[in-house]
């Protein structure tokens, strides 16, 4: 372990503060999914991945991460900044004119840590597969990670990719689904039911594990386990239960905070629930 679990929890708390402050400052963005994935993203960047903050696009010899559900950019930017890809003060520019921190992540502004644009949903899994296959050609034994939203699985391109990866034994790939059951218009079960995701992925030939994405100890263990399953001929799917808005009681478990910014009062109420562990930017 690079960090103790309580240290990772402290980092995640700071990441959550960053998220609500970023979204509040520009009065736009997506706090719900960002808060829900703060533990996973912290675990990935501070514990699981072998990566260098001296950013190189090709990432040779490093583990790579792709964010397919690009709207949860606040958590991505916070984790990148907190792990040293760029100065945390830049988080204050989120969604503002001339910022490298665009509403949805992009390579176009040269922000270190970003390797593909995302935002239009359903594309990240294909990109991650390509990056994983390039690693195989390069005899690079590191791992490629991708995070997808659960609602995002309604996009058909995902299923092209989900079919392709097992057929081609892309076994250096760990995909995680942010399984919070919410999307903009309401619960996924009402909008367009995902049915039995585990059975679906297994039927396509994936090795599926389940995890609790809001329990740091559990998610760290799950990701270590997922890593132990790589190199065995199958891609790995981490079906990760989370709560949208986790960590801020009035934002939790509802699709209403998918894409709404808190006002001044709500910001204060949210920050009161999250201790500043690494100092605010």
Q: Of how many residues is the chain composed?
A: 281
The separation between the first and the last C-alpha atoms of the chain, rounded to the nearest angstrom, is: 27
Tokens 């050609």 locate to 137
DSSP-derived secondary structure letter, 101: S
5, burial (CB in 10 Å: exposed 0-12, middle 13-18, buried 19+):
middle
129 binds other proteins (CB under 8 A): yes
Site for other proteins in 89-108 (CB under 8 A): 106-108
Among 118, 172, 230, 241, binds other proteins (CB under 8 A): 118
237 binds other proteins (CB under 8 A): no
Among 38, 43, 48, 128, binds other proteins (CB under 8 A): 128
116 binds other proteins (CB under 8 A): yes
C-alpha separations of 120 from 28, 114, 160, 278 in Å: 17, 16, 16, 33
Q: Is the dihedral of CA 169, 173, 174, 178 positive or negative?
A: negative
72 binds other proteins (CB under 8 A): no
Site for other proteins in 140-169 (CB under 8 A): 140, 156-157, 160-161, 163-164, 168
- Non-local (6+) Cβ contacts of 133 within 8 A are 168, 170
- The site map against other proteins for 168-207 (x = CB under 8 A) is x---------------------------------------
Region from 28-36, 57-65, 74-82, 242-250 binding other proteins, contact rule CB under 8 A: 57-65
* Residue numbers at the binding site for other proteins (CB under 8 A): 57-60, 64, 66, 106-108, 115-120, 122-135, 137-138, 140, 156-157, 160-161, 163-164, 168
């Amino acid at each position: 372990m690079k960090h103790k679990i309580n240290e990772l929890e402290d980092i995640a708390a700071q990441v959550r503060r960053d998220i609500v402050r970023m979204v509040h400052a520009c009065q736009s963005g997506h706090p719900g999914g960002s808060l829900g994935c703060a533990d996973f993203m912290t675990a990935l960047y501070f514990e699981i991945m072998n990566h260098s903050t001296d950013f190189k696009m090709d990432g040779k010899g490093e583990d790579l991460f792709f964010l397919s559900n690009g709207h949860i950019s606040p958590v991505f930017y916070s984790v990148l900044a907190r792990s040293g890809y760029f100065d945390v003060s830049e988080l204050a520019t989120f969604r503002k004119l001339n910022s490298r921190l665009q509403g949805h992540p992009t390579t176009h502004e040269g922000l270190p840590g970003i390797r593909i644009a995302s935002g239009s949903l359903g594309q990240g899994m294909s990109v991650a597969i390509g990056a994983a296959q390039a690693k195989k050609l390069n005899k690079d034994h590191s791992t490629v990670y991708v995070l997808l939203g659960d609602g995002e699985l309604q996009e058909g391109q995902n299923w092209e990719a989900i079919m392709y990866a097992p057929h081609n034994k892309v076994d250096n790939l760990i995909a995680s689904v942010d399984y919070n059951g919410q999307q903009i218009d309401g619960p996924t079960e009402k909008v367009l039911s995902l049915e039995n995701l585990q059975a679906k992925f297994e039927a396509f030939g994936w090795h599926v594990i389940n995890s609790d994405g809001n329990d740091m100890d559990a998610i760290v263990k799950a990701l270590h386990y997922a890593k132990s399953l790589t190199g065995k001929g199958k891609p790995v799917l981490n079906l990760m239960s989370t709560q949208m808005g986790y960590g801020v009681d009035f934002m939790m478990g509802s699709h209403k905070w998918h894409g709404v910014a808190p006002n001044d009062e709500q910001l204060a109420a949210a920050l009161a629930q999250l201790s500043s562990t690494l100092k605010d930017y």
